[in-house]
Structure 1
Amino acid sequence: MKVYTTQPFQVIYSLFEHEYLGYLFESFVVQINTKGQLTLQHQNISAKNAEEFSARLDAKDFKLIDLIDQIQQDTVLKKFSNKKLSAVDFFLKVYDPEKGDKNLQEAITHYMQVRMNKILEMLQDRRTFIMGKDGDPTWKEIQVAADKATVRFHLHRNADNTHYYPTVRYKGEKLNFQYRNAALICYEPAWLMVDGIIYSFESGIDGKKLQPFLNKKFILIPRSVEENYYRKFVTSLVESFDVKPNGFEIKPQQFRPKPHLNFSEIKSADVSALLSNGGSEASKVDKAAAADKILFNLSFRYGDHMVEAQDAKRISVSMEKTEDSYIFHKLLRDAVYEKEYVKELAKRELEVKNGQAVLDKSAAFSWLNHNLQALEQLGFTVEQSEKSTKHYFIGEISVNVGITENNDWFDIHGTVRFGEFEVPFIRLKNHILTRNNEYVLPNGQVAIIPEEWFTQYIELFAFSEGEHQLTLRKHHMALVNDLQNGNLAQVTMTRKLEKLRGFDEIEDKPLPVGFQGELRPYQKAGYNWLHFVKDFKFGGCLADDMGLGKTVQTLAMLQHRKENGAESATLLVMPTSLIYNWLNEAQKFTPELRILTYTGTYREKNVEQFKDYDLVLTSYGIVRLDTELLKTYYFDYIILDESQAIKNPDSNTSKAVRSLKSRHRLILTGTPVENSTMDLWSQMSFINPGLLGNQHFFRKEFLKPIEKQKDEHKTRRLHALIKPFILRRHKSQVARELPPKIEHTTFCKMTEEQEHAYEETKSYYRNKILTSLEEKGPGNTQFMLLQGLMKLRQIANHPYMTDPGYEGESGKLKEVIRMTRSIVAKGHKVLVFSQFVKHLEIVRQVLDEKGITYAYLDGNTKNRQQQVELFQNNPSIQVFLISMKAGGVGLNLTAADYVFILDPWWNPAVEAQAVDRAHRIGQQNKVFTYKFITKDTVEEKILALQNRKIQLVTDLISTDENIIKSLTKEDIDNLLS
């Protein structure tokens, strides 16, 4: 029957019993007559139509209606059945007495009980009825009691058995509920209906404890099962409820709690159990890392009883069997004191949740070492779990390290204390290097090495030598300084070695008599520095900017060696293309040096001839071929020019030069690192073997943290180690007499045909690369990305580079030729650099057509020096086309005052080297640099990414490959957009 909202109505709640789901409520609206009485005109109400009746509903009604919707049969069916079964079929199957699904029954019951409890809590001031058998929702009105009832359980023990029964009281009066047609409306917790009133209980009792007594006076427990029943059932009853004993005793006990902190390793099985506790800390435990975790468990001792902190029960009961009865010791826990102890742990940064805390093993023992004494003073007992397989040491740990200078090295000595045990420092070497933090003491206990020691001493052990006595080469002075400054070692050294702490004490050395020419102040400082590292028997790296005169500084030092009794010749190794340049410079500045050019197919393979020379010039290729021969000679110096040639430590060239013998070693380079920090390891290991440890150590401790994790601390550490042996000055710092360098970026628009070719290629590679990223990840996409970027860069220059059938023009080429003609017409000279020989060939062809003469240099050019001199000395040759790879180093082209960079790439250092061919000592004019960028192409994106992505590590580390490796999906997306 429809209820009219235009006339008075009332919302009511009606209780009925479902065959399978137990007691449920339904919500109704009932029409009210003129006397304010409920009529038979009613209508079911749910969330679907509640808004229609909102005029007479409040917020609580809406919540009740929603909860009641959730317990209706159809909702239960939808939630717990994933098959298309009717309600009848579903309930018959699940609740079948023999084949029913007990687990599903329990799940449904719990779901229903939770919601019934919430509904009953809200019904106290609502009109509530029992539904009649004819479906009348207002058949009999009932009430929900305003106050909570109490339950007391009685146990009368006599000679033969024990009678067990409950009594219920409401507002101090006994409530008779047995044999009164009482019903449990809800079990979790109990809601009991007696004589039309529904009661709830103070202790939140489980309804199953009252159910047996609705129609039974008591339960009888025979003497034969008494002890077991008392131990299991009565103990828990006494803990949770008011129990009246008769024939046995309940003794309340109160003590001040004493805290116990127990610790143990977490095994895989323990992790699962820990997670099931639901603690917030526990949920963080990773099963895979279980062996590396320590579980702290807090408990409290009350008299003779131990109570777990995670146990939520505020009362703990234990049973004592006497000669003829039982005593139940009812321990009342002191929550206030327990919380104070938890706060004390929190103050010391151990956050205990649900009685437990989990820390990494190293952090756990570090925490114990720092806090054990204070905890014991507070009354804590700290001990290891008896279940642990290892017996851990938790006493005080300390280390004392001394470093003393010897003739050619440092002696390292030290002692580690683990409580009463003293251990030589050297015994920790393998543990520190392998990051094994467990050290077994003489008594079998396992001491955990503090985590900070692995950071503080790993380099000391990695760089030191010796099995029984640790020694450290003197070129590890920076490490010794750091240990001393960090109070990690006591250092004793001579005044002479103290000079290494700062370059301001470098002694000024007179220039050799036979040196022809003058050194600029910064070059003289470099000359002094070369002596400085030599005098301390260190190898050095002169890494000045291109064009600052590394050659002349080195020649001055070699002339000094000649005049001061060098006993053997110096070997100077370089790329073949630079030999002529060295010869020219030596003839100019050090004409007295006797120089042998050890190159060519017909070289005399006899080291005896070296005794007649001061300087032997050779190439990396010859050293590689003649290694066995050259190894037989003991050189005064071995000097590597453009030493990045040995950047790959596993190459035959690197192995060859490292195997040669000499008193001193020196490397010259403008770019110590081109592709990876491993380049640095290779070159540093040549000049100062062992300075950066072995390759494995360097990769793990420096290369990976710096390149993959961008670890600034590791970057600083690496620089501290190499700083004393690298001298690097920038032109902006020292060559202030150089004319200014003015840089421009020229943006070129693509032609229509070029744009079409570019977009077609971009679309093809974009789809391939982004699909590969999704399916295979970045690691397996790098080659395809490089391939795609290469094609796009070439098309941005000129589509002919990728498609010989292309007949259109290039916007960039038109602009390059226009500017070249303009510069040539004004009498200037220009260097034109490209990374692509193919691109230079296209430019070359157009210059031929325009009648513009030029010099040309790429990797295949045989008359290299002739081309350089032609450009430098012939006024009619105003253009020099140079491939970046062949002409980026070793050329002095100060005749040019314009530099064109035709195609940008990741590494700005490569472009800077090209510009330095013109902008170097000897240049009298302003140098104008033009970087040509094709608009709306990957070149423009690369320019932006150069600024965002590349971080030079104090100008020593610049990368190409690493940038490609570090590109994110978003970066790639932007590049190809």
Structure 2
Amino acid sequence: MVVPRKTKEAEITEQDSLVLGAGNKMHPVHPADKCKGPIQPVDKGASDEKHPVRTIDKGKGPAWPVNIGANGNQAEHVLPDLQMHPFGGNMDKVCIVPGRLYQKLQPHQQEGLHWLWRIYCQHSGGIVADDMGMGKTLQTVAFLSGLLHSDIIRRAMIIVPVSVLVSWSEELTNAGLAKHFHIYHGSGERGLQIVNERGGILVTTYETYGSKFKELTAVDWDYTILDEAHRIKNLISNVRKQVDNIECRKKLLLTGTPLPRNLLDIFSLMKFIKPDVLGDQHTFHKKYMRPVELGQYLNSTERNKKRFIKALASCRKEISPYILRRTKSVLIESGELPCKKTELIVWLRLTELQAEIYSRFCKIIDQESHAWYDEDKSTITQGVICRHICNGPELLLEAIDRGQGNSVRRLAKRLLESFDHEVWKKYKNSCKISFILDLVAQ
């Protein structure tokens, strides 16, 4: 008898990844997808009745950042701007991105900019799932700048974690949008009022949106962006239920976390940006989930295996136009990144104190596990304790003081018994810190 795989979750292997540009190949945006006409710099003053090009009005100040000469005065010529013509749909405006900003983008970010414009013209949402550190924020800010300055949108809302609120603020400021965006975190009702009345960009956090979602959903948003979008993949979570109330057809999700292999999570993200692509949940389960569940086992019938492959291929075909995924390995191969990261693994011997604590930890596991709570037997709890021991014994004290989970706190207290806590604060009790300090001294 062939034993089935351990998990019954509908998963997708690396080879069957549903993301665009899966594996080690960058998915190119075909020229026909980028625009309906040639993409070319906009000459100063060049315009027509249908698509006038913004120029500098000396009486009102520059429409967007301009060149500054060596003498500190405004230079005569504005850097060439990028002009992206409509692509499909009923879009009749040209998106003009300031050249000063466009030239800051790396080739893969410029490609992403055209991709964002294509899905926008198709009245669709999208998911940018590039690896962390590949400049998703800058790429998105450049696109927002083009939409605003081209009068394509009036109001945009960006929902981000608190940890990246400052980063977004800096990127928007560097892009010349300092007067066009407002932060709404905690007390920022004035910013919301200004954006609602005059237009602009509102940057808020998931926490603020959760507490003020009635006020925020009352605004007529033209474009909505969610950073760290994996936070909304759970269909029944409070944050997901709240963001589902946003009345906005143009939605963009950003995530540096690899897209989930669980089909239900992928369905959840797609439902947010393009509800009609995969149908309702019942249809999705019947068309995709069920065939995958029946065909993923080693002892599945040949018929079910074929249905499994067909379902994955069909799902990939449906969602691939709305997902952009590039990896750093592709940039290294294309020469956009100078070199691969070099890692040097150094094995260190535990200090005397670390070894003693670790020995006590092993005894507790081997001899006294019957007296533990079930939570204390968790491999996650044991892993956290081991990490604290190896990084520095003082972290065990912090685990107790900060209340780092009941199970971690209980086990840490057991390990601290009969030890002089004052000596733990010496850096020599951590093999890692001692090594780093010696390395820096050299």
Q: Shorter-normalised TM-score: what interval?
A: 0.5 to 0.7
Shift of 1:703: 5.7
1:805 aligns with 2:417: yes
1:737 partnered with 2:337: yes
Whole-angstrom CA distance in 2 between matches of 1:612 and 1:633: 12
- Where 1:822 maps in the other structure, the secondary structure is helix
AA partner of residue 692 (structure 1)? L
Residues 567/520 of structure 1: CA separation in 2 closer, same or farther (3 Å cut) = closer
Residues 1:532 and 1:626: Cα distance change in structure 2 (over 3 Å): same
Aligned mates of 1:703, 1:553 — CA distance in 2: 34
- Spell out, residue by residue over 1:393-414, the C-alpha distance to the aligned partner (whole angstroms, 9 max, x if none): xxxxxxxxxxxxxxxxxxxxxx
Q: Name the CA distance, whole Å, in 2 between partners of 1:787 and 1:636.
A: 47
Aligned to 1:484: none
Q: Deviations over 1:462-503 (max 9, x none)?
A: xxxxxxxxxxxxxxxx9xxxxxxxxxxxxxxxxxxxxx9984
> Which residue number corresponds to residue 601 of structure 1?
187
Taking the TM superposition and a 5 Å limit, the aligned residue runs for 1:193-212 are: none
| Match in the other structure for 2:142 | 556
Shift of 1:759: 2.5
1:576 Cα shift? Answer: 1.8
Equivalent in 199, 206, 217 of residue 631 of structure 1: 217
Query: How far has the Cα of 1:574 moved from its partner?
Result: 0.5
**2:369/2:377 contact within 8 Å kept:** no
Tell me the CA shift for residue 641 of structure 1.
Answer: 0.9
Match of 1:726 in 2: 323
Aligned partner of 1:790 in structure 2 is 381
Q: Map 1:143-154; keep pairs closer than 5 Å.
A: none
CA contact (8 A) 2:125 2:273 kept: yes
Structure 1 residue 731 displacement after superposition: 1.2
Maintained 8 Å contact 1:527/1:557 = yes
CA distance in 1, matches of 2:284, 2:215: 31
| Bigger RCO (CA 8 Å, 6+ sep) | 2
Q: Which residue, out of 433, 436, 439, partners 1:820?
A: 436
Alignment pair present for 1:523 and 2:109: yes
User: In 2, are the aligned partners of 1:749 and 1:811 still within 8 Å (CA)?
Assistant: no
Residues 701/761 of structure 1: CA separation in 2 closer, same or farther (3 Å cut):
farther
How far apart, CA to CA, are the structure 1 residues paired with 2:28 and 2:355?
63
Give the CA deviation at 1:807: 3.3
CA-CA distance at 1:675 after TM superposition? 8.8
Matched letter for residue 816 of structure 1: K
User: Shift of residue 806 of structure 1?
Assistant: 6.1
Aligned counterparts, 1:67-466, within 5 A: none
User: 1 CA distance for matches of 2:97 and 2:32?
Assistant: 24
Which segments of 5 or more consecutive residues in structure 1 lack a partner in the other structure? 1-477, 479-499, 770-780, 827-977
The amino acid that maps onto 1:761 is I
Q: Read off the aligned partner of 1:825 and give its amino acid letter.
A: A
The 1-side partners of 2:238 and 2:34 are apart by: 38
Instruction: Name the structure where helix makes up a greater proportion of residues.
Output: 2
Q: Secondary structure at the match of 1:689?
A: coil
The letter of the residue matching 1:506 is D
What whole-Å deviation, never above 9, does each CA across 1:667-719 have from its counterpart, x for those lacking one?
A: 11111546954433322211111333334554666567768974762544443
Instruction: Give the match for residue 152 of structure 2.
Output: 566
Residue among 198, 208, 218 paired with 1:622: 208
Q: Kindly indicate whether the alpha-carbon contact (under 8 Å) linking 1:797 and 1:812 is maintained by their aligned counterparts in 2.
A: no
Corresponding residue for 2:118? Answer: 532
Q: Distance in 2 between matches of 1:606 and 1:522?
A: 33
Alignment check: 8 A CA contact 1:515 1:589 kept = no
Q: TM-score, normalised by structure 1?
A: 0.29
Aligned partner of residue 221 in structure 2, secondary structure: strand
Do the aligned residues in 1 keep the contact of 2:427 with 2:433 (CA within 8 Å)? no
Aligned to 1:882: none
CA distance in 1: counterparts of 2:295 and 2:371, whole angstroms: 28
C-alpha deviation, 1:752, in angstroms: 4.5
- State the Cα deviation string for residues 164-207 of structure 1 (Å, max 9, x = none): xxxxxxxxxxxxxxxxxxxxxxxxxxxxxxxxxxxxxxxxxxxx
| SS of residue in 1 equivalent to 2:342 | strand
Q: Contact conserved, 2:223 with 2:248, CA < 8 A, in 1? A: yes
Asked if 2 retains the 8 angstrom alpha-carbon contact of 1:596 and 1:613, the reply is no
Structure 2 letter corresponding to 1:642? E
SS at match of 2:250: strand
* 2: CA distance, partners of 1:699 / 1:646: 20
Structure 2 residue aligned with 1:398:
none
Structure 2 SS opposite 1:566 = coil
Q: What is the alpha-carbon root mean square deviation over aligned residues? A: 3.8
Q: Tell me the alpha carbon deviations over residues 256-288 of structure 1, each in whole angstroms, 9 at most, x when there is no partner.
A: xxxxxxxxxxxxxxxxxxxxxxxxxxxxxxxxx
Kept in 1, the 8 Å contact 2:225–2:253? The answer is yes
Q: Distance in 2 between matches of 1:677 and 1:757?
A: 44
AA at the equivalent of 2:417: G
2:134 is aligned with what amino acid? L
Contact 1:568 1:636 in 2 (8 A): yes
Deviations 1:478-530 (A, max 9, x none): 9xxxxxxxxxxxxxxxxxxxxx9984532255353535332111111000000
* Partner of residue 202, structure 1: none
Counterpart contact for 1:568–1:634, Cα < 8 Å:
no
Partner of residue 655 from structure 1, selected from 234, 241, 245: 241
- d(CA) in 1 for partners of 2:145, 2:188: 28
More strand by proportion, 1 or 2? 1
Larger radius of gyration: 1
Map Cα deviations across residues 853-911 of structure 1 (whole Å, 9 max, x no partner).
Answer: xxxxxxxxxxxxxxxxxxxxxxxxxxxxxxxxxxxxxxxxxxxxxxxxxxxxxxxxxxx
Equivalent-residue separation in structure 2 for 1:558 and 1:704 (angstroms): 40
Amino acid at match of 2:431: E
Cα offset for 1:820?
A: 1.8
Q: Percent of pairs identical after alignment?
A: 25
Aligned AA for 2:329? Answer: S
The alpha carbon displacement at 1:620 in A equals: 1.1
Q: Which runs of 5+ in 2 are unaligned?
A: 1-19, 21-26, 40-81, 84-95, 298-307, 397-411
Post-superposition Cα deviations, 1:5-45, rounded to whole Å, max 9, x if no partner, equal xxxxxxxxxxxxxxxxxxxxxxxxxxxxxxxxxxxxxxxxx
Per-residue displacement from partner, 1:45-93 (whole Å, max 9, x unpaired)?
xxxxxxxxxxxxxxxxxxxxxxxxxxxxxxxxxxxxxxxxxxxxxxxxx
Q: Pick one of 526, 542, 559 that aligns with 2:128.
A: 542
Matches within 5 A, 1:874-893: none
Q: Is the 8 A contact 1:523 1:553 kept in 2?
A: yes
